[in-house]
Amino acid sequence: MKLAIGILALAAFLVFASAQIAAGYVGIEHGIGPVWALAAVFAAVFLRFTLPITVGAFFGAMTLWGWHWTLALIFAVPGLAFVLPGVISGIFSLTTMGAAKLTRATPICAEH
């Protein structure tokens, strides 16, 4: 059962990644041309530099596919859905508890 769930999750991830690359390609191709779109796909796949594809996926989904900007943002940067609640929680805890309750790492060269 775990193997089937793992295979299904891998397939879903590959479909989502392919859709992001496709949206990134059409977004960049529409904006600055097919040569730059191919360069961005090459950089994303072989060099693991995904920023151009992420930006292209946002603009491709929003401009060419007609999605609302919030849906295009969630599609292009899905990790923000997990990071943003923690950032907001940290801001609220800072404002309610104050800076006195914050913890920080001890410096290596602590002066006594």
20: nearest Cα among 69, 48, 47, 58: 58
Res 20: pLDDT: 93
Residue 1 pLDDT: 87
pLDDT class of 98 with cuts at 50, 70, 90: low
Q: Is the pLDDT of residue 100 over 70?
A: no
Half-sphere exposure of 18 (CA within 13 A, CB side): 6
- Residue 99 predicted with pLDDT over 70: no
Q: Band the pLDDT of 103: cuts 50, 70, 90.
A: low
Question: Is the pLDDT reported for residue 79 higher than 90?
Answer: no
